[in-house]
Amino acid sequence: MPIMAIMVLLACGFTSCNSKHKGFKKDDTGFYYKFHINNDTAAMPQMGDVVEMTYTMRIGDSILIPTGIYNDRIIESIYEGDIYDALRTMHVGDSATFIFEADTFFHYFQMPWSFEEKDLYVDVKLNQLIPNIEVEKMIEQRQIQDSLMREQRRIMEDSLIQGYKAINKIKTAPTESGLILTFNKKGTGEPATIGDTVVFSYKMFSIEKQLLAENPTNKPDTIELSDDIIQGLKETLSASNKGSRVTALLPSNIAFGEYGTPIIPPYTPIIMEIEVVDIFFKQK
């Protein structure tokens, strides 16, 4: 073999001649990579660390995730050669481009995209990291704060309910669950029972009268009465017949409970203004 050919083969062993992506090298786990800045004296992400990175995801001419600053926690790889394997090759301050097989990436990360081009490019600059031990301390502190907040709201709930009843001069006794119903209009016919379908309009408020949710204007909701809906709503609809207009006060134990939702805090009593438009009774 000519000496020049041998030299080319040797050079290819130390570069990316065998790579189908010019200028990129292939990692043992399967992804391709090219480092633009290599800060090899800095820390590298370890399991459980939180990384802050400037990040872009693109395929062909399509930008899937625009350039921005994102945070993620380093976890076990979801599949061999995924983004977490790639991030673990970086140092703080590094800048790199990674190439993944798009369909595999989209499948494992449950992204609803499909493209003819199969090379998914991810540009990453690793700005900083928070070590796992500090992350765990932050999580513990947040859990303590959340627990204290929930306890404060639990203590406050009864005062909020009593204050609402006093302001609105409500004398109605609560049901066994704590539900308080005020009928503004009585309907006709039989109330709904489990398995019946109820058509109703509603507005949901916090006890301070902040609107939390409502059905679209002129488009009532339709729901089958079952144990799958929140208890307070089920009880309210079960006590209401067609044409009823009722204001229901739901304590948190029959609303959204001790943890709440992303928009409703823990131990939040709820006010629901409901009009039952129609009831379709299940066949006997």
Q: What pLDDT digit, counting tens, does each position of 129-164 carry? A: 999 999 999 999 999 999 999 999 999 999 999 999
Helices (H), the chain: 3-14, 83-87, 102-108, 132-167, 231-238
What pLDDT was estimated at residue 268?
93
Tell me, yes or no, if the pTM score tops 0.85: no
Q: Count other C-beta atoms under 10 Å from residue 204's C-beta.
A: 20
Closest CA to 58 of 122, 141, 146, 2: 122
What pLDDT was estimated at residue 284?
66
Pairing assessment for the beta strands 211-214 and 50-59 based on DSSP bridges: unpaired
d(C-alpha 232, C-alpha 228), whole Å: 11
What pLDDT was estimated at residue 120?
96
Residue 230 near residue 260 (C-beta atoms within 8 A):
no
Residue 126 near residue 42 (C-beta atoms within 8 A):
no
* Strand-pair partners of 61: none
Closest CA to 278 of 182, 184, 197: 197
* Strand-pair partners of 26: 32
Alpha carbon 22 to its chain's center: 38
Residue 270 near residue 206 (C-beta atoms within 8 A):
yes
Residue tagged 């949901």 (tokens): 204
What pLDDT was estimated at residue 208?
86
pLDDT per position in the chain (284 positions), as tens? 555 444 444 445 444 445 578 899 999 999 999 999 999 999 999 999 999 999 999 998 899 999 999 999 999 999 999 999 999 999 999 999 999 999 999 999 998 888 888 999 999 999 999 999 999 999 999 999 999 999 999 999 999 999 999 999 998 899 999 999 999 998 899 999 999 999 999 999 998 889 999 988 778 999 999 989 999 999 999 999 999 999 999 999 999 999 989 889 999 999 999 999 999 998 76
User: pLDDT > 90: what percent of the chain?
Assistant: 76
Residue 26 near residue 37 (C-beta atoms within 8 A):
no
d(C-alpha 32, C-alpha 166), whole Å: 68
* Strand-pair partners of 201: 275
